[in-house]
Structure 1
Amino acid sequence: MNCNKQQLWKSIVVSSFGSAFRGKLLNNVESLPSSQLSSIWKEILKIQKIETLSFVVGANSWKWVLGNGSKISFLYDPWIDNLILKDEFPALFLLCRSQNASVAHFLYPSDMSMLQTGWELLLSLPLPLYDSLKASDLQVLLTSYKLNEHQEDLVMWVHDSKGVYNVADGIRIILNSGNLVIPEWPKVVWNNNVPSKVALFHWLALKNSIPVRDVLSRRHILSVDQSTFCAWCLNEVETIDHLLMHCSWSSKIWTDLFRWWNFRWVLPESILLFSFDWYNGMGIKANKFWRLIGPATMWAIWIARNDYIFNGKYTCRSVIVCNIKLKTFL
């Protein structure tokens, strides 16, 4: 079943991006025309540029295994001893008639059903003496490479004996390297005291990805005639920080919760600062319950806001506070 799923995803990706992505995952994202990339693919490929991750998933972490030569670019891809031929042999690259052709295109004869006798460099003009000597060196390198018409070209991960990447091994290599500085904020969001759906909402809030009106407007999802003001106070733009903390309606919920714990606190200016302060307890010793209350309150405010906008249902603030108190101790 898993094999079938992998084949299905492969067929979807190839049908959508096939020709544009041939071998490009080995290269830096900047080498790809941005017009050929969705925002998702751009973010995926940018991972290769992150210093702590580049030696695990960067360009040097992958290698081509030659099969029939149809997917590998002869001059652009590092398929011979991790060399990129256009950089190693610039004169050959300039004079080549088929700069973007695959490895199979340079086979002589081109029909793989016939006995492979050699490689043809497809030059438009003879090379100068020095470069012709270098081309001879290339021909010597090429003699050890044979095409296999029954095998596709494969991309292999160099850190695994089978060439297959998996997340667990990638994380292990990063942790063992000692180069990874683990940020503090993940433990603030992902901890066992908070339900997964609430933690996910908290994470999205920190990423500024909750679909409040301000976010929807900046992404051109709301039309110009649709209001971006907060549904509760109607006085300010509905940003994430405003809705979850600073709106007069929301802030009264926080005030009631603070009174429950018998202390006073001024809400910080951002969700990020709030999250760190709340996680660290601010002197409250009941950490297990405390760490749940903050994210759960933001979640309850969001649910109440959606009920009001989409269902016309108004939830009293006292009911929200009461539910938070009850669910905290369940």
Structure 2
Amino acid sequence: MALKAKSKWGPYKKRGSSQGLGKAKEIIWLAQISQEFSKFTRFVVGDGDRIRFWEDLWWGDQPLGVQYPRLLSVVTDKNTPISSILGSTRPFSWNFNFCRNLSDSEIEDLEGLMRSLDRLHISRSVPDMRSWSLSPSELFTVKYFFLALSQFSDSPLVFPTKFVWNSQVPFKVKSFVWLVAHKKVNTNDLLQLRRPYKALSPDICKLCMKHGETVNHLFLHYSLMMGLWHKLFQLAKTDWVPPKSIFDMLSTNFNGFGSSKRGIVLWQAACIALMWVVWWERNARIF
């Protein structure tokens, strides 16, 4: 029976393993992307079945719940679609479903809202749609989304695609640098998160034997690595202040060996070589 159960269901896996953590991170990441995406879209009303009356941006420059917060506070269901509140024929039939009688000030807000929506047209034969506010054609393009994200101060730095993928190094090295910049390379701290039930012994950097091993420590803050970076910038005759993270390091255009094609190629190769060599040395000491 035990053998049959194993062959049918697969090997036993502990709860809370790395798969569960990975799924949770993926869901959080998708939610963040969806939130960023929604900032640049607005709804175009058709039949009103898919657009939330209070929460979605479809009338004016803000959601109606933001424009009329006093009305929103007394609504029974804040996720109600437009079609459940407004009838499709004129004059509109209204069904706001407030949880209590309105005060005088709330009645004034309601009258203003109803006057504002008098120009609204609902068509039962046309579904609701989204329009892309950043493009003149109102159609989504990756280009406009990328430019918008890169211009917002609260957005993360844009990954230096050309620095990595246009560099004159083997493809596996380019992939390695991409992993380093995104904290996906298997340093001890990441392995510990993936396998929390397997303690790493010892959980320290194999090069310095003092501090915990992270991407930023190994490729930037480790004393010997910091010395190598300083030496490289001295050769390039460039002033340098150590950044907070290796991502910041790669995202900054230092223009180390000049702006010529040869200078750019040499600078890319030198920076990537430092990270590649320290990774090889680290692995050699472990394995």
TM bin, normalised by shorter chain, reads 0.5 to 0.7
In 2, Cα distance between equivalents of 1:178 and 1:36? 23
Determine which of 118, 141, 155 is the counterpart of 1:166.
141
Q: Which runs of 5+ in 2 are unaligned?
A: 1-23, 236-241
**Greater length-normalized contact order (CA 8 Å, ≥ 6 residues apart):** 2
Q: Which amino acid aligns with 2:187?
A: V
Q: Which residue of 2 aligns with 1:32?
A: none
The CA deviation at 1:66 is 0.7
SS at match of 1:150: coil
Q: Which residue of 1 aligns with 2:201?
A: 227
Q: Which residue of 2 aligns with 1:295?
A: 272
The CA deviation at 1:196 is 4.6
Determine which of 42, 46, 59 is the counterpart of 1:80.
59
User: Residues 135-284 of structure 1: matches in 2 within 5 Å?
Assistant: 135-170=110-145, 186=160, 189=164, 191-217=166-192, 219-229=193-203, 235=209, 237-240=212-215, 272=246, 280=256
In 2, Cα distance between equivalents of 1:173 and 1:209? 26
User: Residues 301-320 of structure 1: matches in 2 within 5 Å?
Assistant: 302=279
CA contact (8 A) 2:188 2:200 kept: no
The CA deviation at 1:45 is 5.4
**Aligned pair in 2 of structure 1 residues 196, 39: CA closer, same or farther (>3 Å)?**
farther
Determine which of 79, 84, 87 is the counterpart of 1:100.
79
Aligned length: 241
Q: Which residue of 2 aligns with 1:40?
A: 29
Root mean square deviation, CA, Å = 4.9
Q: Which amino acid aligns with 2:144?
A: D
Report percent identity of matched pairs. Answer: 20
In 2, Cα distance between equivalents of 1:83 and 1:271? 37
**Aligned pair in 2 of structure 1 residues 163, 307: CA closer, same or farther (>3 Å)?**
farther
In 2, Cα distance between equivalents of 1:135 and 1:274? 54
Q: Which amino acid aligns with 2:82?
A: V
Q: TM-score, normalised by structure 1?
A: 0.53
**Aligned pair in 2 of structure 1 residues 228, 116: CA closer, same or farther (>3 Å)?**
farther
The CA deviation at 1:224 is 4.2
**Aligned pair in 2 of structure 1 residues 161, 107: CA closer, same or farther (>3 Å)?**
same
Q: TM-score, normalised by structure 2?
A: 0.59
SS at match of 2:84: helix
In 2, Cα distance between equivalents of 1:152 and 1:227? 59
In 2, Cα distance between equivalents of 1:161 and 1:303? 50
The CA deviation at 1:65 is 0.4
SS at match of 2:43: strand
**Aligned pair in 2 of structure 1 residues 305, 134: CA closer, same or farther (>3 Å)?**
closer
Q: Which residue of 2 aligns with 1:24?
A: none
Q: Which residue of 1 aligns with 2:8?
A: none
SS at match of 1:97: coil
CA contact (8 A) 1:66 1:79 kept: yes
In 2, Cα distance between equivalents of 1:105 and 1:70? 8
In 2, Cα distance between equivalents of 1:168 and 1:203? 21
**Aligned pair in 2 of structure 1 residues 106, 215: CA closer, same or farther (>3 Å)?**
same
Post-superposition CA distance 1:100-127 (Å, at most 9, x none): 311111133xxx6xx5641313334443
In 1, Cα distance between equivalents of 2:54 and 2:190? 44
CA contact (8 A) 2:206 2:285 kept: no
**Aligned pair in 2 of structure 1 residues 149, 202: CA closer, same or farther (>3 Å)?**
same
The CA deviation at 1:40 is 0.9
SS at match of 1:142: helix
**Aligned pair in 2 of structure 1 residues 87, 246: CA closer, same or farther (>3 Å)?**
closer
